[in-house]
Structure 1
Amino acid sequence: MKKRIKKTYICKDIKDYTIDETILTDYHPKVGDVGIFEIIKIGKHKTVEDEDKRNARIIACDLMMAAFGNRYATAQFEGYVPDKCNEELHILGAGGIVGVVHSMHYNYIDIGPTTIRLVGLVKDNWGNVMNTKLNQQSNIASFTGAAAAETKVILSVGSSMDSGKTTSAAYMVNGLKNAGYKVAYIKLTGTAYTKDCDFNYDLGADITADFSDFGFPSTYLCEESELLDLYESLLQKVITIRPDYTVMEIADGLYQRETIMLLTNPRFKETVHSVIFSAGDSLAAINGSNNLTSWGLTPFVLSGLFTASPLLINEVKSNTMLPVLNIEELSANGVEILHKFENKGNLLKAL
């Protein structure tokens, strides 16, 4: 192939490869398998994030290196790794995740996904198809909970996709940093794209990490044990700087498969220091915080998109005793609220 190949972000660590164009018809791809794809028709994705985190424009006939993966995104696409690759494929995520769209949000019905086709499989020097997850497998640690004991893990969870949890995390990071703490940010679940890590770094995080650092195109349909090992591995990566606090975001809403799997796991919950809950409206804020409380993860603060509306804030405050902060207040007063929560917890332990 003489055309320049645009290497997407999820494939940034793929080196020393060859391209095999001979076995495409019968090949059954797995999550993380790497291929070279030709852009057929531009749809939702007009750019992909490249290995340097630059948004690279794509047009028909371009070639890109990407990885097969699944995606769960209620405001965008539901998509899966296909049984075979000799069919129309789609870009599922800008970080370089490809598969076949199963459903999409109404906003994209007329636009549709960007369609692609596989033109070659990326192989190593021994003739094996290269895989982003297998490429990092030796760096994955088994879950023990020990890494979480080296920092205080603040969860940022939300009622749904686009409920404001990344923004809440970033402004809490900012507040902690302004208070003189060393702070890490982790995105544990989601679909590979660096925007959330970059945002939290811009607002003060000393170090950031996410699941794609260990080769995961996404975490959708991962096993529970796999998620726990990934959690341990990401914590081990960030505690090298000895952060006082680690703000960790979990993607999507409380009822999403991986989210509820983690939030109801006793071993995982034991490692959590505190919780920020973000919601899009008052009903979601109240019901979501009640759900979290029933799981033993009562939030120390409520935030998210609903805090843009004074009326919604009043509705929430009329139905809960939990503190409600908008993003500016999270930065300015979030640490004070957190310390009150910590002191209350210490008092209960003493009693």
Structure 2
Amino acid sequence: MKTRIKKSFACQGIKNFRISTDIKQLDNYIPKEGDVVLFEVIETGKHKNLQTTTRNVTLMPEDQILGVFGNRYATNQFEGYVPDRPMEEYHMLGGGGVMGILASSHSKFEEVGPTRLKLIGLATDPFKRVINTLKVFKDELVPFSGLSASQTKIVLSLGSSMDSGKTTTAAFMIHGLKKRGNKVAYIKLTGTAYPKDKNLAYDMGADLAIDFSKYGFPSTYLTEEPVLLSLYETLIKDSLSVRPDYVVIEIADGIFQKETKMLLQNFAFMNTVNDVVFSAGDSLSAVHGYHLLCQMGIFPTALSGLFTASPLLVQEVESTLYKDSGSPSVPVLGLRDLMSENCPIFSNTMKVLQA
């Protein structure tokens, strides 16, 4: 029986390929970020399913997966990297098909560990070269200028950390903006390839929902600043196809994360942003994150996130900020507020300038 290859979401843009199992080529192969390779599942661990372009498929030992080598930064899950030499065993770093070698994991996954893989083939082009997703789409990226963003309003959804509520915040903002009769696009600019966030945004009404994986990025972790800015410009340009009144941009992880911090400190990038909505998991991170952003010259339009599920945490944030004479008043918005037709925060048309 012919073995079925389960093609991962990270390989979405790869249409034509051949699988090389040539021993000589495999023995001399050194993994590179973006390389498309064929793995065999040795043992399932944390990831017992693989996200394809259509659905989540179950994984079993001896299954064959078409995945992409990439790095991952996920404080609540895995940290992992593309190895610089051939390995006897590789690991599934993300459910969208991002593969590499595990460096660390959250303690809740220490016992189960990562899904373990064996490299059994390379996806090659007609010239027997290993296909690399980053190279396939490299020429489609346009240089950063900020011109695309100037044709719409940009709302930036930031968070204090992973799982602080920024995706849900973005989705409910989109729902509210749609209620007000706006056209809205959603872009996830950074993170690890997985369609859940953009699917949620689309389900909540976005006229277009896209992310970095469209241009072959298995993840954006360790991406250089000029490339990340070019990716931003390209995705914004793509979003203009629906003539959006607003584009909601989500940046993964927290404001201390390398790429997030890099973007927030980039004046040219922040000068394209109209509004910043900051999500936090608890009252302390909400207050401290707000002050930290203000120190960077970034003044959030509103605070939201997981902490708004607790009336007591909301009271802590509001009482702390409102008593601090050095802090401007900033609204705290729960999900009902964000999706309300009367949500006041989107009337601002002035750019959020860094001091």
TM normalised by structure 2 equals 0.94
Aligned 8 A contact 1:25 1:84 in 2: no
1:327 maps to a residue whose letter is L
State the Cα distance separating 1:334 from its structure 2 match. 6.7
Residue 27 of structure 2 corresponds to residue 25 of structure 1: yes
Map 1:1-351 → 2, pairs under 5 A: 2-21=2-21, 22=23, 23-52=25-54, 54-320=55-321, 321-332=329-340, 335-339=343-347, 341-342=348-349, 345=350
**8 Å contact kept, 1:37–1:63:** yes
> Tell me, which stretches of 5 or more residues in structure 2 are unaligned?
322-328
1:64 counterpart letter in structure 2: I
Aligned AA (1:192): A
In structure 1, distance between residues paired with 2:83 and 2:285: 35
| SS at structure 2 position matched to 1:259 | helix
**Structure 1 residue 103, shift from structure 2 partner:** 0.1
1 CA distance for matches of 2:131 and 2:246? 36
Instruction: Specify the alignment match of 2:325 in structure 1.
Output: none
Q: Secondary structure of the equivalent of 2:57?
A: strand
| % identical aligned pairs | 51
SS at match of 1:332: coil
Give 1:12 shift. Answer: 1.9
> 2 CA distance for matches of 1:160 and 1:209?
22
CA contact (8 A) 1:172 1:334 kept: no
Alignment partners' CA distance in 1, 2:146 and 2:121: 41
The CA deviation at 1:223 is: 0.2
Distance 1:63 1:295, change over 3 A: same
Shift of 1:25: 2.7
Shift in Å, 1:19: 1.4
The residue type paired with residue 268 of structure 2 is: R
Deviations, residues 222-246 of structure 1 (Å, cap 9, x unaligned): 0001100000010011111110000
Distance in structure 2 (CA, Å) of the matches to 1:147 and 1:2: 48
Secondary structure at 2:27's aligned position in 1?
coil
**TM-score normalised by length of structure 1:** 0.95
SS in 1 for 2:213: helix
Using the TM superposition, give the Cα deviation of residue 184 of structure 1 relative to its aligned residue in structure 2, in angstroms.
Answer: 0.4
Q: Distance in 2 between the 1:64 and 1:334 partners?
A: 48
Q: Assess if the C-alpha contact under 8 Å between 1:301 and 1:324 holds in 2.
A: yes
Q: Secondary structure at the match of 1:318?
A: helix
Aligned residue type for 1:238: S
- Distance apart, 1:144 and its partner CA: 0.6
Give the Cα separation in 2 of the matches to 1:334 and 1:133.
Answer: 43
Count of aligned residue pairs for this structure pair: 344
Residue by residue, what CA displacement relative to the aligned partner does 1:245-268 show, whole Å, maximum 9, x if unpaired?
000000000000000000000110
Aligned partner of 2:312: which letter? L
Moved more, 302-311 or 14-23: 14-23
Q: Secondary structure in 2 aligned to 1:91?
A: strand
RMSD over aligned Cα, in angstroms? 1.6
TM superposition shift of 1:333 = 5.8
Deviation at 1:294, TM superposition (A): 1.8
Asked whether the equivalents of residues 13 and 214 of structure 2 are also in contact (C-alpha less than 8 Å), the reply is no
Q: Shift in Å at residue 86 of structure 1?
A: 2.9
Q: Amino acid of the residue matched to residue 164 of structure 1?
A: G
Q: Secondary structure at the match of 2:297?
A: coil
1:301-326 deviation per Cα after TM superposition (whole angstroms, max 9, x unaligned): 10000001111100100122210011
SS in 2 for 1:272: coil
Q: Give ranges in structure 1 of 5+ residues lacking alignment.
A: none
Give the distance between the partners of 2:37 and 2:244, measured in 1 at CA.
38
